[in-house]
Amino acid sequence: MPTIIDGNALAATIRGEVAEKVADLVATHGITPGLNLLLVGEDPASTVYVRNKGKDCENVGIRSTIVRLPATATEDEVIACVQAWNADDSVHGILVQLPLPKHIDEHRVLRTIDPEKDVDGFHPVNAGKLMIGLDGFIPCTPYGVLEMLTRYNIETSGKHVVVVGRSNIVGKPLAMLLAQKRSPGNATVTICHTGTPDIAEHTRRADIIVSAVGMHGLITADHIRDGAVVIDVGINRITLADGTTKLVGDVDYAAVAPKASAITPVPGGVGPMTRAMLLQNTLTAAIRKARQ
Ligand code: BQF
């Protein structure tokens, strides 16, 4: 059976490391890192995500403030909130929970965030820095995947990675990061997406498969070559026959795990790492500010 990559345990380790460094920053500079989170509307999943991110902050000594605006808030109201936080020196990180209601231009909102406070790494400046290998902020999910590969000593150099999914949040940045000449990285990267006629044809040749699509059962045993590493970024809520719901990934875990050399579960895989790397990015933002 494969190595189960334990995202909960790894995230707990990272939270511990962040907590120590936060305490250090408080002791040496009198600076408490602060994260402000904006939630627009009442999407149940988003509400839970934001609440958990706030709790995570509390657990490591990062100050957090959650502001909720109604789904009817205007784009200008959202922008005004971000601008106020840009101007506030006690706010080191700004997170606008996505997705935003349809009448709000997401790109315009993300462009408004000060790139040095952009702990989600979604500002075009940080996307551009990532693309050319400069230190900006790496989006939390790709960052979490890199940490999983590093801390489980999974070699990427010279390997063939197939990323399924091309979102700006996961697929595209992760593919770029893994192709770069550094560690982890230096991989040959293939990106598959909805325009790929036969995804399995590509994934069967992969040493490492990352699926970030959001489609339960997309990756089956037939997609995997023996001994591949499987990273499941998908988070899908499905309803069982008895009416209860559960979280599953993109990967048919029961069928794929026996063929894999290492695999991430859902829940308890990449998801907790996403949350942990937000704390790391917020700490980094505060440290960079302290050094200015
Ligand atoms: C787990 C997210 C889609 C759209 C917007 C742990 C999270 C999820 C799962 C979590 C996600 C997904 C987040 C698990 C944050 C990841 O144990 O499997 C943690 O909190 N996530 C988000 O903030 O916005 C999203 C997915």
Kindly report, residue by residue over 140-162, the tens digit of the pLDDT. Answer: 999 999 999 999 999 999 999 99
User: Which residue lies with its CA nearest to atom 10 of ligand 1?
Assistant: 271
Give the contacts of 32 (CB within 8 A, at least 6 positions apart): 22, 25, 26, 61, 62, 63, 286
Give dist(CA 69, CA 275) in Å, integer. 22
Residues 189 and 263 in one domain: yes
Q: Does residue 1 carry a pLDDT above 90? A: no
Q: Return the CATH number at 107.
A: 3.40.50.10860
Q: 39's torsion region: left (phi>0), alpha (psi -120 to 50) or beta?
A: beta
Other Cβ atoms within 10 Å of 269 Cβ, number: 30
Residues 110 and 145 in one domain: no
Residue at 283 is within a domain: no
Q: Strands 236-239 and 245-248, how do they pair? A: antiparallel
Q: Report pLDDT digits (tens) over 180-225.
A: 999 999 999 999 999 999 999 999 999 999 999 999 999 999 999 9
Residue the block writes with tokens 């606008």: 96
* pLDDT in the model for residue 80: 98
User: Which residue lies with its CA nearest to atom 15 of ligand 1?
Assistant: 49
CA-nearest of 123, 149, 290, 276 to 207 is 149
274 lines ligand 1 (CB under 6 A): yes
* pLDDT in the model for residue 58: 98
Pocket test for ligand 1, best of 211, 274, 277, 278 (most atoms within 8 A of CB): 274
* pLDDT in the model for residue 19: 99
User: Which residue lies with its CA nearest to atom 13 of ligand 1?
Assistant: 49
Give dist(CA 14, CA 262) in Å, integer. 20
> Tokens representing 268?
């308890």
Please count the structural domains in the chain. 2
> Is 53 tagged catalytic?
yes
Reported for 124-127, long-range contacts at CB under 8 A and 24+ positions apart, including other chains, are 127/168, 127/173
What is the whole-number distance in angstroms between the Cα of residue 197 and the centre of ligand 1?
29
Q: Rounded to two decimals, what is the model's pTM?
A: 0.98
What is the whole-number distance in angstroms between the Cα of residue 271 and the centre of ligand 1?
5
In the predicted model, what is the mean pLDDT of the chain?
Answer: 98
Q: Which residue range forms the structural domain that includes residue 94?
A: 30-115
* pLDDT in the model for residue 224: 98
